[in-house]
Amino acid sequence: MIDTGIGSPAAIFGILLSAITVSALLIWVERKLLAVWQDRIGPNRVGPFGLLQVAADMIKMFFKEDWIPPFADKPVFVLAPVIVFATMLSGFAVIPFAPDVGVVDLNFGLLYFLALSSLSVYSMILAGYASNNKYAILGGLRAAAQTISYEVFMGISVMGVVMLSGSFNLRQIVEAQRDGWFIAPQFLGFCVFLVAAIAESRRAPLDLPEAEQELVAGFHTEYSGMKFGMFFVGEYLGVTLSSALIVTLFFGGWLGPWLPPLLWFCLKTGICIAFFILVRGSLPRPRYDQLMAFGWKILLPAALFNLLATGAIALTVARI
């Protein structure tokens, strides 16, 4: 019998393969959902229901010229897309998909995720720098300021969950929600974390580092072929990872009645991913100064208030 427990080769291979496959399929899912919400048909030509459109896009990308500008810093230019792809994929290592399904069970799993999400910003900074293009540099600077700022709010917003569960271990955080999901007592923290996750993944409407009306394509303006593909898939990996973490922290992870735990986790994560796509199709892009002002003037006070309120309530309950 194949061992599929935590850390087994079968579990590791299955999780990594599933993450990449889901991220690739999200291209089709996003197009279809946006078409439904905007009263369009969406992809329907290549294969049944347009499912092979993803394969067609991948084949096209494989055969595109993998061009490196002569004015670029070539080693850094090549390294930049690898960083975002590797960091996002590595983040799935600490996600508890089911009681006995996962890659590794770390006592500091939440800190590990926050560290990786911070490291991913190096990809945008290096891509902008190495491209030697003014639009790419502006996109890299925007990505750095946006990611570093919203990482602060994201880190503070999850401290309430850590207080209630008493652990940074994501598996223990899920187990602490058996008597009730943390979405209820930590609704304010959830709202802050959700906005920060959208900003961290650079998804519309918070895709200011690559706003095409202003910066052509931002930090990846000079990229083509598979290097552009790694940035593209890395964004969807980020959406999937953020959705999985939201489910783990606030919606009870794999916990739920009737259905198998893994199916519950996948269902909740799918709903969160659909919400990410709905936000993209519903809200306009703000100005960059509005984005930064909203973070420091609204989200930071809200995250701090949630932290102080949770600490006060937890201390009162402990004394009683």
101 forms bridges with which residues in the sheet?
Answer: 98
Q: Is the pTM of this model over 0.75?
A: yes
**Helices (runs of H) and strands (runs of E) counted in the chain:** 14, 0
Residue 187 included in any domain: yes
For 86-125, b/e burial (b = at least 16 CB within 10 A) is bbbbbbbbbbbbbbebbbeebeebbebbbebbbbbbbbbb
Higher pLDDT, 2 or 72: 72
Tell me the two tokens of residue 77.
């230019």
Least confidently predicted of 2-6, 48-52, 75-79, 217-221: 2-6
Residue 160 resides in a domain: yes
DSSP string across 46-65 = SSGGGTTHHHHHHHHHHHS-
Q: What is the pLDDT of residue 138?
A: 87
The answer to whether position 46 is within a domain reads yes
140 pLDDT tier (thresholds 50, 70, 90): confident
Of the listed ranges 106-110, 181-185, 280-284, the one predicted with least confidence: 280-284
Percent helix, strand and coil across the chain, each to the nearest 5: 70, 0, 30
Count of domains observed in the chain: 1
Tell me the pLDDT tens digit for each residue of 243-269.
999 999 999 999 988 889 999 999 999
- CA 150, 299, 274: angle at the middle one, nearest 5? 70
pLDDT category, 4, cuts 50, 70, 90?
A: very low
Give the pLDDT confidence of 173-202 residue by residue, as tens digits. 999 999 889 999 999 999 999 999 998 888
Q: For residue 258, what are the domain limits?
A: 9-319
Q: How far apart are CA 246 and CA 194, in angstroms?
A: 8
DSSP 103: S
The answer as to whether 99 is a domain residue is yes
C-alpha atoms less than 13 angstroms from C-alpha of 124 in its C-beta half-sphere: 30
Where are the strands (E) in the chain, listed by range?
none
Among residues 118, 174, 175, 122, which one has the least CA distance to residue 148?
118
Terminal CA-CA length for the chain: 50
Whether residue 19 lies inside any domain: the answer is yes
**Does residue 2 fall inside a structural domain?**
no
Any domain includes 3: no
